[in-house]
Chains A and B, each alone.
Chain A
Amino acid sequence: GAGVSQSPSNKVTEKGKDVELRCDPISGHTALYWYRQSLGQGLEFLIYFQGNSAPDKSGLPSDRFSAERTGGSVSTLTIQRTQQEDSAVYLCASSLRQGVEKLFFGSGTQLSVL
Chain B
Amino acid sequence: GENVEQHPSTLSVQEGDSAVIKCTYSDSASNYFPWYKQELGKRPQLIIDIRSNVGEKKDQRIAVTLNKTAKHFSLHITETQPEDSAVYFCAARAAGNKLTFGGGTRVLVKP
Contact = CB atoms under 8 A, between A and B. Distances in A.
Interface of A: 31, 33, 35, 41-45, 48, 50, 56, 58-59, 91, 98-99, 101-103, 105-108
B101 A42 contact: yes
A44 B99 CA distance: 10
A106 B43 contact: yes
A86 B95 CA distance: 28
A75 to B, nearest CB: 16
A98 B102 CA distance: 21
Given A42-B6, A56-B96, A58-B1, A103 B46 contact: yes
Contacts of A50: 97
Interface residues of B, number: 23
B100 interface: yes
Contacts of A108: 43
Contacts of B93: 101
Given A58-B1, A101-B34, A101-B93, A43 B101 contact: yes
Interface of B (DSSP majority class) = strand
A98 B97 contact: yes
A41 B43 CA distance: 14
Nearest to B1: A58
Interface in B6-55: 6, 32, 34, 36, 42-46, 49
B44 A105 contact: yes
A21 to B, nearest CB: 15
A35 B98 CA distance: 11
A103 B98 CA distance: 11
Given A45-B101, A56-B98, A98-B97, A91 B89 contact: no
Indicate the member of A31, A33, A103 with the most B CB atoms within 10 Å. Answer: A103
Contacts of A33: 99
Contact of B103 (A41, A106, A107): A41
Interface string B84-111: 0000010101001111111110000000
